C-alpha cells in the first residue's frame, strides 16, 4: 500500500525546490530580534502554513487556477515579484526596524508563502497528485508532502542555535547574504515565468 518510487521522486523534487538548507539564513534574517519562544512558534507556523497551502492546491489546484484563469507562468512571476520586494528589504536593512516588523507575522508571508509554498512546489504537487494512480501512489504522494514539511520545520527550529553562536553582527551579515540569495531566486523565478510565456505564444 505504499509506492516507494513515487515517494522518493516527489520528496527529492520538493527538497530541491523548497531547499531546507537554503531557507535557514532567510529564516534567521526574517526572525532576528524576536524572543526564542516567538521564533520557535514562527518556525512551526511557517511549516504549517506551507503545508496547508500545498495541500489545498494538491486537492483543488487545477480547479482553482482554471476557475481564476491563472496560468502557471503568471503564478511564477507574481511569486517572484513578491520575493523580490522582501529581498530588497533585507538588503537595505528595513526588515530590521522593529517599528515595521513587530506586528508582521513573517511566518505567513513571505516564509509560509511564497518562499516555502511557492509556484514550483505548488505545480509539482498538482502534477504529482494528478499522475498518482491508485491508493499506494496517493499515499506515497501525501507522505512525501508531509515528510518534507517535517524536515522544513526541524531545519528552521534548530537554526535558532545558529543565532546564539553568530550574535548580532553575524545576524546582520546573514541578513545581507540572505537578501542577495533571495533576490537572485526571485529574478530567476520571474525569468522562468516570462520564458514560459514566450514559449507558449
Q: What is the pLDDT of residue 49?
A: 95
pTM for the structure as a whole: 0.74
Q: What is the pLDDT of residue 168?
A: 67
pLDDT tier for residue 24 given thresholds of 50, 70 and 90: confident
DSSP letter string, 145-192: HHHHHHHHHHHHHHTHHHHHHHHHHHHHHHHHHHHHHHHHHHHHHHHH
Q: What's the chain's average pLDDT?
A: 84
* 64-111 pLDDT tens trace: 888 988 887 888 888 788 778 878 877 886 654 333 344 568 888 888
pLDDT at residue 175 above 80? no
Stretch 42-54: mean pLDDT: 95
pLDDT at residue 153 above 60? yes
Stretch 9-22: mean pLDDT: 86
Amino acid at each position: 500500500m505504499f509506492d516507494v518510487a513515487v515517494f522518493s521522486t516527489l520528496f527529492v523534487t520538493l527538497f530541491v525546490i523548497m531547499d531546507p538548507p537554503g531557507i535557514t539564513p532567510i529564516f534567521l534574517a526574517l526572525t532576528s530580534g524576536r524572543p526564542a519562544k516567538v521564533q520557535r512558534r514562527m518556525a512551526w507556523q511557517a511549516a504549517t502554513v506551507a503545508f496547508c497551502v500545498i495541500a489545498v492546491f494538491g486537492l483543488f489546484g487545477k480547479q482553482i487556477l482554471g476557475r481564476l484563469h491563472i496560468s502557471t507562468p503568471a503564478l511564477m512571476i507574481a511569486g517572484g515579484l513578491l520575493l523580490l520586494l522582501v529581498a530588497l528589504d533585507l538588503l537595505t536593512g528595513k526588515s530590521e526596524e522593529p517599528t515595521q516588523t513587530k506586528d508582521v507575522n513573517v511566518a505567513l508571508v513571505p516564509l509560509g508563502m511564497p518562499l516555502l509554498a511557492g509556484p514550483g512546489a505548488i505545480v509539482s504537487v498538482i502534477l504529482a497528485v494528478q499522475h498518482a494512480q491508485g491508493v499506494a501512489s496517493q499515499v506515497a504522494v501525501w507522505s512525501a508532502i508531509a515528510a518534507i514539511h517535517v524536515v522544513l520545520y526541524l531545519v528552521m527550529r534548530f537554526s535558532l542555535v545558529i543565532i546564539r553562536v553568530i550574535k548580532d553582527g553575524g545576524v546582520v551579515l546573514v541578513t545581507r547574504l540572505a537578501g542577495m540569495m533571495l533576490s537572485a531566486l526571485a529574478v530567476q523565478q520571474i525569468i522562468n515565468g516570462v520564458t514560459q510565456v514566450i514559449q507558449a505564444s
